[in-house]
Chain A
C-alpha cells in the first residue's frame, strides 16, 4: 500500500534521510525505532507532506504521493504529530470536528456528527467537549488530537511519537485503541516495550538510514539495543504476550 524508494531529504544543517526504502502492506502496524535524531520524524514528515523529499519516490495506493492534492492525501492519511500549537482558542469539539474538513460535509450532516461523537467516545473525552483546547494538559491535548485523527477516518494513520506527553495508563490506552481500529499504522516510538507489544514489524533507524527491519522478535535484541542505543539490556518474554520485553541494565563500570 505504501512504497518508499530511495528517499532523500537533507536539512540545511546536513542531517536528514539517506536512500531510505520501505514497503508497508495494508493493515500492518509498523514501528519506527531509533535514537533521537535518527530520522524517524523526518521520514514521517516526508510521508505526511510537511517536508518535500529532495529525491526518491513515495507511492501511496499505486500513485505517487506528490500527485495527490492535499485534500486527497488527507482522505487517505490521518496524522497524530507532536505539534500542539494552535494560534487561537478552539474548544475540544471544534478541534475534533476539524478532522472532517477534507470531506466537505455540512455541519448538520448526521454521518459527520456521528463520526465526531464516535471519536470523542473512543478516546473518552466527551466530558471535555466545551473546554478550551489551550487550557488542557499536554496529555489531554494529545488525546484530543488522536480523536481528531480518528474522526478523520482514514485507512492510514501516521503517529509521530504519539505518547510523548502521556502517562503509562494513557500510553497503553492510545496504542490499544489505535491497534483496535485495524488501520495501516506507521508510528515513531521511543518506548521499546510499547513497540514490542503493539507493532507487527519494526524498522530500526540511525543517522537517517534503515539499519535493520523485521518482526519484533527479530529486531528487539540485546545486540541491537547495545549497538543503537548504547545501553546494556536483558530481553525476557512478556508474561502475557510472550513478545520480547526489555529490562534496561546499568553500565556497572560507570556506577
Chain B
C-alpha cells in the first residue's frame, strides 16, 4: 500500500513537472526551471502553463474526491458529481452569472459561490424528494437525481438561448464543455483551500464513510449519526463540485472513474481510497488537458469532451473486467 502510494505521488509530481513542457509550443525542463526561478509577468510558461497544470491537478483531485463522496452518499459505485444534478446545478447557476451577471453582488468569488449555490440547491432538492420517514430511499434518490439533473441542464440551455451577446454565448458554451484555458495563479487559492479542507474533514471521518457504505441501518447500529453525516457529505460534495465547475466548467467521468481505479488499487477502505482517488484524479486531468492542448494544436479541444470520449470506453472496459472477475 505504502509503495503504491509513493509511486502515485511520484507520478503526480512528475506529471506536474512534465505537463507544462507540452502543448502547441514545446518547452524543455530547463525552460520550466528558469521560468520558476526567475518568474516574469510576460513569461508564458510561468503565467499560463504552470498555473494551468496546477489548476488541472486541483480540479482533477476535487472532482475525484467529490465522486468518492457521492458514491458513499448513494451507496452506488456508478454515482458521480453529475448523477444527482450537482454539477448540472452548479453549471446552471454559474452560466446565469456568466451571461447575466446575476450574482455580481457576491464580489470576487461570485462564480464559485454561484456554482456552489447551484450545486447545493440541486442536491438539497434531490434529497428532500427522496426522504421518507427520515430515511433516504436510494431508488427515489437516483431517479430524482436524474430528473433534477435534466431540469438543471434544461435551465442552462434556456439561459444560453437568452444570452445577450454572441461572444458571451461562445465563452459560456466553451466553458460548459470543460476547459482549463484562462487558468491564472490567483485562481489556485480557492480550490486548494477547499480541497485541503474537505480532504482533512473526510479523512477525519474515514471510518464513518466505510460504515455509510454498509447502508443506513448498519451505519446507525455501529454508531454513525447518518443524518448529520449526510449533511456534512452534501456540503462537501457541493463545495468540491461547485468550485470545480466554476473554475473549469463541467468535466465528466473523472468523478466516476477515479474512485474505481483507486478501489482497484487499494480496496475499499476510505482511509486509502480518498488520497489515492485524489492523486489519480489529478494525474488524469493533467494528462487529458495535455492531450486537449496537443491534439489539434494550435486549436484546443474542451477537456470535458476528451474525458467523456476517453473515459466512456475505459469505464465500459472496467465494468466488463469486474463482471468477468465476479464470475
Residues of A within 8 A of B (CB): 12, 45, 48-52, 69-71, 73-75, 77-79, 81, 83, 85-91, 94, 98-99, 101-102, 152
Q: A74-B223, A77-B221 are in contact. Are A90 and B267 (CB under 8 A)?
A: yes
Interface mask (B208-246 → A, CB under 8 Å = 1, otherwise 0): 101101111110111111100000000000000000000
Decide if B263 touches A69 in the complex (CB within 8 Å): no
What is the chain B residue whose CB lies nearest that of A107?
A: B271
CB-CB contacts of B190-212 with A at 8 A, as 1s and 0s? 00000000000000000110110
B134 contacts A81, CB within 8 Å? no
A87 to chain B, nearest CB (A): 4
Q: Is the CB of B217 within 8 A of A83?
A: yes
Complex alpha-carbon distance, A101 and B224, angstroms? 9
Which residue of chain B has its CB nearest to the CB of A81? B217
- Give complex CA distance A49, B40 in Å: 62
Docked Cα-Cα span, A87 to B74, in Å, equals 9
In Å, the complex CA distance between A86 and B226 comes to 16
* Contact A49 B220, beta carbon cutoff 8 Å: yes
Contacts of B75 in A (CB 8 A): 85, 87
Asked if B269 is an interface residue, CB under 8 A from chain A, the answer is yes
Instruction: Choose one: B208, B226, B269; the contact of A90 (CB below 8 Å).
Output: B269
Whether the pair A89, B267 counts as a contact (CB closer than 8 A) is yes
Return the chain A residue nearest B72 by Cβ. A87
Contacts of B210 in A (CB 8 A): 90, 94, 98, 101
For residue A69, which residues in chain B have a CB less than 8 angstroms away from its CB? 225
Q: How far is the CA of A88 from the CA of B215 in the complex (A)?
A: 11
Q: How far is the CB of A182 from chain B (nearest CB, A)?
A: 21
The verdict on B15 contacting chain A, using a C-beta distance below 8 Å, is no
Contacts of A99 in B (CB 8 A): 222
The answer to whether B221 and A78 touch across the interface, beta carbons within 8 angstroms, is yes
Contacts of A85 in B (CB 8 A): 75, 214-215, 218
Would you call B76 an interface residue if the criterion is a C-beta within 8 Å of the partner chain's C-beta atoms?
A: yes
Given A50-B217, A85-B214, A101-B208, answer yes or no on A70-B268 (Cβ-Cβ < 8 Å).
Answer: no
- In the complex, A60→B98 CA distance in Å? 56
Q: How far is the CA of A81 from the CA of B225 in the complex (A)?
A: 18
Evaluate contact between A70 and B134: CB separation under 8 angstroms: no
Of the residues A75, A81, A88, A152, contact of B213 by C-beta under 8 Å = A88
Neighbour of B134 across the interface among A52, A79, A102, CB < 8 A:
A52
Residues of B within 8 A of A102 (CB): 222-223
Question: What residue in chain A is nearest B75 (Cβ atoms)?
Answer: A87
Among B71, B225, B269, max chain A CB count under 10 A is at: B269
What are 10 A-B contacts defined by CB distance under 8 Å?
A50-B217, A50-B221, A52-B134, A69-B225, A83-B218, A87-B77, A88-B213, A90-B210, A98-B210, A101-B211
Q: Assuming the A-B contacts A52-B134, A88-B213, are A81 and B76 also in contact, with contact meaning beta carbons closer than 8 angstroms in the complex?
A: no
Contacts of B218 in A (CB 8 A): 79, 81, 83, 85
Known contacts A83-B215, A98-B211, A101-B207: does B268 contact A88 (CB below 8 Å)?
Answer: yes
Interchain nearest-CB distance for B119 vs A (Å): 23
* 1/0 contact string of B129-153 vs chain A (CB within 8 Å): 0001110000000000000000000
| Chain A positions within 8 Å of B268 at CB level | 88-90, 94
A83–B71 Cα distance when bound, in Å, is: 19
A86 touches B214 (CB 8 A): yes
Residue of B76, B220, B263, B269 touching A50 (CB-CB under 8 A): B220
With the chains together, A174 CA to B60 CA distance in Å?
Answer: 48
B220: chain A residues at CB < 8 Å are 48-50, 70, 74
Alpha-carbon distance A99/B269, docked complex (angstroms):
14
A21 to chain B, nearest CB (A): 23
Specify which chain A residues have a CB less than 8 angstroms from the CB of B213 in the assembled complex: 86-88, 90
Q: How far is the CB of A8 from chain B (nearest CB, A)?
A: 14
Residues of A within 8 A of B134 (CB): 52
- Structural contact, A91 and B267, CB atoms closer than 8 A: yes
Please pick, from B76, B133, B222, the residue contacting A152 in the complex, using a CB distance under 8 A.
B222
Nearest B residue (CB) for A134: B326
The interface residues of chain B lying within 8 Å CB-to-CB of A45 are: 217
Smallest CB separation, A114 vs chain B (Å): 19
| Min CB gap A212→B, angstroms | 29
Are A48's CB and B77's CB within 8 A?
A: no
A50 near B223 (CB under 8 angstroms)?
Answer: no
Closest CB in chain B relative to A122 CB, distance in Å: 19
A84 to chain B, nearest CB (A): 9
Cβ contacts under 8 Å, B208 to chain A: 101
**Which residues of chain B are within 8 angstroms of A74 by Cβ–Cβ distance?**
220-223
A-facing residues in B256-280 (Cβ within 8 Å): 263, 267-269
Render B58-99 as a binary contact track against A, CB cut-off 8 A, 1 for contact.
Answer: 000000000000010001110000000000000000000000
CB distance from A38 to the nearest CB of B (A): 20
Contacts of A48 in B (CB 8 A): 217, 220-221
A101 to B215, alpha carbons, bound, how many Å? 15
What mask results when residues 265 to 308 of chain B are scored 1 for a CB within 8 Å of chain A, else 0?
00111000000000000000000000000000000000000000
Within 8 Å CB of A86, what residues of B?
Answer: 213-215
Instruction: In the A-B complex, list the 8 residue pairs whose CB atoms are closest, starting with the nearest.
Output: A74-B223, A102-B223, A88-B268, A87-B75, A71-B223, A79-B221, A50-B217, A87-B213
Flag if A89 contacts B216 (CB, 8 Å).
no
**What residue in chain B is nearest A48 (Cβ atoms)?**
B221
